[in-house]
Structure 1
Amino acid sequence: MTNFGQTGPEVLQTRPTFWRIGPVGEVLFYAAAVLTVVWFLWGVYSRFARYGAGEPDHAARLDDLPGRIARAAKQVFTNEKQFNRDFVGGVMHAFIMWGFLTLLIGTTILAIDMDIWTKALGQESFFQGAFYLSYSLVMDAMGLLFVVGVGIALYRRYGLRMDRLWDRHNDHWDAFLVWSLFLLGVGGYVVEGLRILGTGFPEHETVSFVGWFLARVFQMGGMSESMATFLYPFSWWSHALLAFGFIVAVPMGKPFHMISSFANVVTNDDKAGKRLPSIPTDLDHTNAEDIDDFSWKDILDQDACTKCGRCSSVCPAKASDRPLDPRNVILDLKSYREKLDAGETEQKPIVADGGDSVIDAETMESCMACMACMDACPVDIEHLTSFTRMNRQLTDEGELQPSMQDVFQNVMQKDNTFGDPNRKRADWTEDLDFEVTDAREEPVDYLWYVGDYPSFDDRNKKVARSLATIFEASDVSVGILYDDEVYDGNDVRRVGEEFLFLEQAGTLVDSFEACEFDTLVCTDPHSYNTFKNEYPEIDFDEFADDPMMEFDVEGFWNRRGEVEVLHYTQAVQRLVDAGSIPLSGTELDYTVTYHDPCHLGRYNDEYEAPRDLVRATGCDLHEMPRNRANSFCCGGGGGGLWMEYDEDPKPSEERLREALEDTDAGASVEKFVVACPMCMTMYEDGRKTGDYEDDIEIVGLSELLAEAIEARGVTVGDSSTEAGESAPADD
């Protein structure tokens, strides 16, 4: 028998396995291990089998599976999304994940040595010498990071009591997960410390520095070697049974997120939210009458939720005291599904206006479709897909605000959201000193989709005229559709009116195909997103025989990206960079801040073109704390522009407060620059209701550019100024 208390070169550098456990204990351990693994595998299989009851998903989720797994592994192992907006949380999760994985791998290596390498294959154990010493050092070091990480989690949850970690869906599983992990980590060191003390402090065990430290603490506390030997089996079995209990619990509750979250990242749709799933033309189709109307990916989303509250903490609707909490919507659906499957509740409507439903209609009406929740989610939950499914159900049942119903009527009858005669769509051009080309009559470089608000809203007409002035000052030909332009349908789709969206899309694509142009340019980021990401997804052939769909489009439009789609900031940036619009970067000297529109920024990752243009005018740009992907929504998306809410403060008011109080320039900010007509409308309203009229001016980026061009002394329409030639500046 090896004397583990000796020192010197003759001592075998390893540790005893099943020390003080005995043959019977070893048999019991293996029996429990087998039962645990069987239970775990059956539980995991049952959870994944449940997803099969959901509807097929609209997106290709398993194409290029090796590539998907590699991308998911990178995201998970680097913890890149965990660090987003929460550095401490990122460090905490990295410590827990890498510590847990190291301990799991280490335990697996030990099992391979004991059960396969030595017992099954009859080879000499490799769990000794340099390998053992390296193993022990790494396990102790990573285990310590694991305990520190779980300790931070305990402090944030129970010490700081972070608001976003507590809500109505907190239950015993939250406590079980964090405390069981903590006890597993600490318990492993206690077992190690008792063994080191009980075997007489073998010299080579100093590499197990945490266990060695605890053994010394036990010794200084009066524990003898014989006492440690006596206590060791009890601590060993406690640790083993807790480990088995944790593994058994994985498929049963919150610990399952370690599996479902990775699966969710693997199967994510990188265009989720920016393109919504279409619905079949089958008249028997239902959107959200039953929990199994949701797709298998929607149900996986529910299981992947870790209750971290990151989505809730960035939601502008929740910040404005609207009834929406993105986390609770996902978890309400999950809770209902689990209770229904267990026979603990009766079937009820998924979403309805009042009454006994899983989700209330007012909750869904509160969503601004800003995608902040999806951007913040570390496990790629696609909230907006589930939300849209429920909005479509409400639309089918006619349970929407009257103001929204009026918008639907306006679009159906007048082809615009204002309800004005569509023949007046281009009346805004009458105040210009030049004529805007009719793209229906002659070829153009840019076909400019002006949009509803720049066409009919008085404040946004100024944005349209300034953008027309910019284009006229360039060397490209730009034309519009005049009264053949109709509403693009983006926001009514997000409210749930799918067929009205399809009708508008078909009518508009008919007009596009009747024109000759190279690039489609949009004033509104909402239009830009829907033309770029949603119109190419529509198979118009499906609606060829539908008498309600009065268009002649066949097949797909722009399926392969033959037509380039740009937001006006991208198009103008190209013109400035090419010298077609002469700016020196010194024309204006305002102190400004810029607001990222959700549909341009979070939806389509365009952050730099607008900023480059602001700087090109000479303005001093100061960023708000929430900028780029973290930008705060104006409140106008998802139909918010047309709905009535009792909220305080409004998202627009909060954003203006941030501009004036939280930027480096503070109250010195003169102009709040926007690049979206809906943002313009919401912030002009917020400036009045928030009493900011004397403090800051809302200005469209195109208006700023037009002013800079005028200050440069460029005469719009003057052919004597050639492309790239700078006109003289005013003195």
Structure 2
Amino acid sequence: MNSLTITLGAIGVLLSVFSWSSFVSGALRMFNTVRIGQSAPDRWRPFFPRFKQMIIEFIAHTRMNKFRSVGWAHWLVMIGFALGMFVAMEAYIQTFNPAGGWPFVSGWAAYHFIDELLGLGTVVGITTLIVIRQLNHPRLPARLSRFGGSNFKAAYFVETIVLVEGLGMIMVKAGKIATYGHANPWTDFFTMQVAKLLPASVVMVSVMAFVKLMSAMVWLYIVGRNITWGVAWHRFSAFFNIYFKREDDGTVALGAAKPMMSKGKVLTMENVDPDTDTLGAGNIEDFSWKGWLDFTTCTECGRCQSQCPAWNTGKPLSPKLLIMSLRDHGYAKAPYLLAGGRKDMGGDEIGLVDSEGNVKEAALAAIPEAARLEADRKLVGETVEGEMAPVIDAETLWSCTNCGACVEQCPVDIEHVDHIIDMRRYQVLIESEFPSELAGLFKNLENKGNPWGQNSKDRLNWINEMDFEIPVFGKDADSFEDYEYLFWVGCAGAYEDRAKKTTKAVAELLATAGVKFMVLGADETCTGDSARRAGNEFLFQQLAMQNIEMLNSVFDGIEQKKRKIVVTCAHCFNALGNEYPEVGGDYEVVHHTQLLNRLVRQKKLIPVASVSEDVTYHDPCFLGRHNKVYDAPRELMEASGSKLVEMPRHGERSMCCGAGGARMWMEENIG
């Protein structure tokens, strides 16, 4: 030690007190802010499956590797940060004593080898990510850059610090080799080459260690002051967000929509109390704490944005910008909410009031003005000139097709679709603010049981066009006892001319294969998928319970494993298979491509002529991403002799047709 190293060490320790204080303070503010959200009791257990999935996603980088060019580089940076913190904090010792290091471990060859890999891997990884960010820079046309709208200041800051840290690990080690020798070609294979370029200098090593320490301290200080910088904080919050993801089996939050919840309970038509329950999300505080954790964890990487069909067709919706807007609004409003502030639906203060109903002006004045202004801001609405803009524009909210591309691609398991549906629920059930076309949809579903408002008896018309008998429950058969499948035709399959071709073809193939099936005919009602995805939760429940009552009467006395339904519509497939169990309907549901493919493999269906043509296949979102049915349709086409030519976007990255999320019933006016 000398006077310079002691001075540098003392300065480092002194400044780190402010840095650690800033970081801990920021973490506590974030924790308290996330706690504003409503209860989510279903997110804690089971512990071991959730913990296991968190570790798998962390170590194997299963989500990040969906973008392979980024996955390996991010893995290097992640490991460099996770383990490199231990190496970085060694600078506390090295600044005072350049020859020193952590007691015990600094003498181990394994420690030096890991240190070598961490420094080199961090530099290579972060350099690759910097290049990728520049290649995708927003100076490109706005909708071609997945980073469009992201906080570049935060990103550049984090990337710079990580690069300096990686270089610091290399240079301190190389400086020590140049000054003190003792290089091991097995553990110091790279730094010993760098050391040849450096002079032997105790002061140089101390200065390098000081720079390494200060870069970490600057990071802690700045990040602690900016708790909405998800690009920095996700390295802590992502672990929790993955653990608390909706599905405890590790799958993403697709398939069934999240049930509508209030104060931790699932709302049904029987237990809802309109006076006390929150229907959907009309204010930022209506989201659960998991929702707030989602907003906090967003890294602004833009993978969701790059895959979003709405964004790619000129609509105002970017899943990334939507989550960022909710985050920024939530944290800006948090001081008001943490002070106890609340407003009723009319905008009157109900939180900071005394026993006589008078507003506590002193308490209100103590809240920062920015937070009070943010409290007056609508969560969803139309942008009106001269008024404060809503957090989420109505056009943005209703542009979503629920395709799930954002959820599928998100590396930190944010549940975009569930949050969008919750906001729609409030708009429909409380505000009665929704696209005018949906009014007709809701009316037809409620009164006629189908979106077009057709007569139920017309569901049987397609059967009259067949040249063989198709049994109808309650008309040709009173029991399911002698049948294998109930063929769920669906509204489009019964009424829409193009879909009826599929219905008739499937019925003919099933009959050819000797499969005994029946249909419900006029007793079939819409599954309610469009109602639920549009936010009309109670209409969905009404339709679902009506169908479940009918299905249970069909399957009365039939053992569970034989209650089989085959469907052609991807939305019916998802609703019957994933959402009906929530309201008491548990059946085995298969898509017609799965059943037909099985029949081909069993030689019960044999192609009579080869289709020697090139064919492409579009993966429906609610069959593919939501239910992971990718192989059966392709195998079925191969069996026909056709050659499958994949589109650029297929499988889990398939481009949405635009009809999901009740968009089927709305006009395309934008983009």
TM-score normalized with structure 2 length: 0.82
Name the SS for the 2:665 alignment partner. coil
Identity %: 29
* Partner residue in 2 for 1:316: 309
Structure 1 gaps, min length 5: 1-17, 220-224, 539-555, 649-731
* Partner residue in 2 for 1:154: 130
CA 1:29–1:643: 2 relative to 1, 3 Å? same
**Residue among 502, 506, 509 paired with 2:541:** 502
Does structure 2 retain, via aligned residues, the 8 Å contact 1:368–1:636? Answer: yes
* Partner residue in 2 for 1:651: none
Cα displacement (A) at 1:248? 3.7
Is 38-47 or 633-642 further displaced after alignment?
38-47
CA 1:125–1:377: 2 relative to 1, 3 Å? closer
**Residue among 510, 515, 519 paired with 2:564:** 519
1:175-186 maps to which residues of 2 (within 5 A)? 175-186=156-167
Is 1:168 the counterpart of 2:149? The answer is yes
1:217-616 maps to which residues of 2 (within 5 A)? 217-219=197-199, 225=200, 228-251=201-224, 252=227, 253-254=229-230, 255-270=232-247, 272-279=253-260, 280=267, 281-284=272-275, 285-341=278-334, 343=368, 344=370, 345-347=373-375, 348-355=377-384, 356-396=389-429, 397-440=431-474, 441-443=478-480, 444-516=483-555, 518-538=563-583, 556-558=584-586, 563-583=587-607, 586-616=609-639
Name the SS for the 1:148 alignment partner. helix
- State the distance in 1 between where 2:670 and 2:283 align: 31
- State the distance in 1 between where 2:402 and 2:378 align: 23
Does structure 2 retain, via aligned residues, the 8 Å contact 1:529–1:604? Answer: yes
* Partner residue in 1 for 2:346: none
**Residue among 608, 631, 639 paired with 2:654:** 631
Name the SS for the 1:217 alignment partner. coil
Does structure 1 retain, via aligned residues, the 8 Å contact 2:18–2:221? Answer: no
- Taking CA–CA contacts closer than 8 Å with sequence separation of 6 or more, which of the two structures ends up with the larger relative contact order? 2
Does structure 2 retain, via aligned residues, the 8 Å contact 1:521–1:565? Answer: yes
Cα displacement (A) at 1:403? 1.6
Cα displacement (A) at 1:592? 1.0
CA 1:40–1:346: 2 relative to 1, 3 Å? closer
Name the SS for the 2:527 alignment partner. coil
CA 1:19–1:398: 2 relative to 1, 3 Å? farther
Is 1:618 the counterpart of 2:591? The answer is no
Does structure 1 retain, via aligned residues, the 8 Å contact 2:175–2:205? Answer: yes
Cα displacement (A) at 1:63? 0.8
* Partner residue in 1 for 2:348: none
Does structure 2 retain, via aligned residues, the 8 Å contact 1:450–1:523? Answer: yes
Does structure 2 retain, via aligned residues, the 8 Å contact 1:110–1:127? Answer: no
Is 1:214 the counterpart of 2:194? The answer is yes
Does structure 2 retain, via aligned residues, the 8 Å contact 1:587–1:618? Answer: yes
Is 1:60 the counterpart of 2:33? The answer is no
- State the distance in 2 between where 1:174 and 1:43 align: 18
Does structure 2 retain, via aligned residues, the 8 Å contact 1:196–1:205? Answer: no
- State the distance in 2 between where 1:34 and 1:64 align: 39
Does structure 2 retain, via aligned residues, the 8 Å contact 1:265–1:379? Answer: yes
Cα displacement (A) at 1:209? 4.3
Give the partner amino acid of 1:241.
M
Name the SS for the 2:589 alignment partner. strand
Is 1:69 the counterpart of 2:97? The answer is no
Is 339-348 or 66-75 further displaced after alignment?
339-348
Cα displacement (A) at 1:109? 8.3
- State the distance in 2 between where 1:213 and 1:385 align: 53
Cα displacement (A) at 1:615? 1.7
**Residue among 119, 144, 164 paired with 2:120:** 144
* Partner residue in 2 for 1:104: 85
Does structure 2 retain, via aligned residues, the 8 Å contact 1:593–1:621? Answer: yes
Does structure 2 retain, via aligned residues, the 8 Å contact 1:305–1:381? Answer: yes
- State the distance in 1 between where 2:449 and 2:105 align: 76
Give the partner amino acid of 1:405.
A
Aligned length: 590
- State the distance in 2 between where 1:368 and 1:574 align: 31
Does structure 1 retain, via aligned residues, the 8 Å contact 2:91–2:212? Answer: no
Cα displacement (A) at 1:329? 0.3
Give the partner amino acid of 1:402.
S
* Partner residue in 1 for 2:343: none
Cα displacement (A) at 1:181? 0.9
Give the partner amino acid of 2:652.
A
CA 1:428–1:91: 2 relative to 1, 3 Å? same
Cα displacement (A) at 1:205? 8.5
Measured against aligned partners, the alpha-carbon deviations of 1:476-509 in whole angstroms (never above 9, x if no partner) come to 2211111111111012211111111111111111
- State the distance in 2 between where 1:20 and 1:161 align: 46
- State the distance in 1 between where 2:205 and 2:91 align: 19
Does structure 1 retain, via aligned residues, the 8 Å contact 2:22–2:221? Answer: yes
Name the SS for the 1:471 alignment partner. helix
Is 477-486 or 170-179 further displaced after alignment?
170-179
Does structure 1 retain, via aligned residues, the 8 Å contact 2:177–2:183? Answer: no
Does structure 2 retain, via aligned residues, the 8 Å contact 1:20–1:233? Answer: no
- State the distance in 2 between where 1:126 and 1:105 align: 14
Cα displacement (A) at 1:114? 13
* Partner residue in 2 for 1:222: none
- State the distance in 2 between where 1:19 and 1:576 align: 82
Does structure 1 retain, via aligned residues, the 8 Å contact 2:136–2:147? Answer: no
* Partner residue in 2 for 1:543: none
Is 329-338 or 96-105 further displaced after alignment?
96-105
Does structure 2 retain, via aligned residues, the 8 Å contact 1:113–1:127? Answer: no
CA 1:620–1:218: 2 relative to 1, 3 Å? same
- State the distance in 1 between where 2:645 and 2:490 align: 29
Give the partner amino acid of 1:437.
P
* Partner residue in 2 for 1:668: none
- State the distance in 2 between where 1:23 and 1:106 align: 20
Does structure 1 retain, via aligned residues, the 8 Å contact 2:297–2:412? Answer: yes
- State the distance in 2 between where 1:433 and 1:127 align: 82
Structure 2 gaps, min length 5: 139-143, 261-266, 336-367
Does structure 2 retain, via aligned residues, the 8 Å contact 1:368–1:638? Answer: yes
* Partner residue in 2 for 1:683: none
Does structure 2 retain, via aligned residues, the 8 Å contact 1:351–1:393? Answer: no
CA 1:69–1:112: 2 relative to 1, 3 Å? farther
Does structure 2 retain, via aligned residues, the 8 Å contact 1:289–1:393? Answer: yes
CA 1:152–1:19: 2 relative to 1, 3 Å? farther
Cα displacement (A) at 1:208? 3.3
TM-score normalized with structure 1 length: 0.75
Q: Which has the larger radius of gyration?
A: 1
Measured against aligned partners, the alpha-carbon deviations of 1:679-716 in whole angstroms (never above 9, x if no partner) come to xxxxxxxxxxxxxxxxxxxxxxxxxxxxxxxxxxxxxx
